[in-house]
Amino acid sequence: MLSYFRKNIPVGIDDCVGNESEKEVLMMRMYEEHEYCKKPKEPSRLYRIGMFAGMNHVTVKTLRHYDEQGLLKPAYVDEESGYRYYQVSQIADLHQILALKNVGFNLEEIKEIQMGKMDRTQLIRKKQEILGELSRLTDKLAQLESYLAGESLNLSAPVLVKSLPEVTVASMQTVVKSYDALFDAMPKMGEEMERLGCVCAQPEYCFTHYLEPGYKEEQVRIETCEAVTERKEDSELIQFKVFPEVKEAACIFHKGSYNDFSKSYAVVLKYIEENGYEICGNIRESYIDGVWNKESEKEWLSEIQIPVCKIGRQ
């Protein structure tokens, strides 16, 4: 081997080394380095689970869970102690799991990705889910901005967009002389419901909608509805129907006299306009507390419910 190095001295070595003795030392050093490279490499260092968790800013519980789910198996498990050990090369696998989890994939989906079962269609679907969540967060931000931009923070009656569940109701259509006479018709409806054996649903849900567009000072055509547990045979005064679920409704609570409804309507309609919604159904006025159980008008509580949908997404 040494003769090999003597015959294959790198070009220019004579210019770097002064005498034969120094040349010999240099060749010996090159020989030793060459032999070191030929030695088998030591196995990768193993790190106990606690240290590996700390290195990657995750909990030991998380690593154990990933092991149980088949996402990240330890490089070695001591049969006697049960201790889990990991290699540095596994950091990349762990970081991939954490990155996928961070963008919204659950552990089952990540496992599918590891096994090559996740195709482009599924990835596009996940992208749409993230965009949907982004849209919802944008709506929340817009609502907060509208509060901040207002002259006063009227957080006592914020607008809330929510769904209205399907409901079976006893319905009575009538014409009232004015809005003030709205509740004059209610006792008559209650008597007829009792005669028909109706049982009111719990929680109680009574609401009215206006059957004609626009505002009228008198001769207002309305439909009053009371949620019931089941449909009965229709009568001349009352019909039974099912209102389907409303996916989205802009809702606001109104405290006080019905004469001040216009103020609450102004708030909710402004919200609808500023947040890219449009009205897509009959407006409901739901009566929670009123003259039947509260002595003071100041304690009356109602909720205005306006079915809405995003503009261009009906």
User: In whole angstroms, how far apart are CA 135 and each of 91, 125, 128, 141, 276?
Assistant: 34, 15, 10, 10, 12
Mean pLDDT to the nearest integer, 296-312: 89
Q: Quote the pLDDT of residue 248.
A: 94
Residues with Cβ within 8 Å of residue 272, at least 6 apart in sequence = 250, 278, 279, 306, 308
Higher pLDDT, 1 or 57: 57
Q: 250: which strand partners?
A: 161, 306
Q: What is the mean pLDDT of residues 104-108?
A: 87
Give me the long-range contacts of 114-119 (CB less than 8 A, separation at least 24).
114/71
Give the residue with greater pLDDT, 286 vs 136. Answer: 286
Looking at residue 5, its pLDDT comes to: 38
Q: What is the pLDDT of residues 63-89, one digit of tens each?
A: 999 999 999 999 999 988 889 999 998
pLDDT band at 298 (very low <50, low <70, confident <90, very high): confident
Q: Is the pLDDT of residue 216 over 80?
A: no
- In the chain, % of residues over pLDDT 90: 35
Task: Give the angle subtended at the CA of 184 by the CAs of 183 and 185, to the nearest 5°.
Answer: 85
Q: How do residues 120-168 score in pLDDT, each as one tens digit?
A: 887 788 888 888 888 878 877 776 776 666 544 444 458 889 999 999 9
pTM: 0.53
Q: For residue 141, what pLDDT is reported?
A: 79
Q: Which residues, 6+ apart, have CB-to-CB distance to 155 below 8 Å? A: 147
Residues above pLDDT 70, as percent of the chain: 78
> How many of the other CB atoms lie within 10 Å of CB of 162?
12
User: Would you say residue 60 has pLDDT above 80?
Assistant: yes
At residue 195, does pLDDT exceed 80?
yes
Do 63 and 72 touch, CB atoms closer than 8 A? yes
Range ranked top by mean pLDDT from 48-57, 100-109, 218-227, 237-246: 237-246
Q: Tell me the mean pLDDT in the region 202-216.
A: 81
Averaged confidence pLDDT in the chain? 81
What tens digit of pLDDT does each residue of 222-260 get?
A: 899 999 999 999 999 999 999 999 999 999 999 888 878
Task: Tell me the mean pLDDT in the region 7-29.
Answer: 50
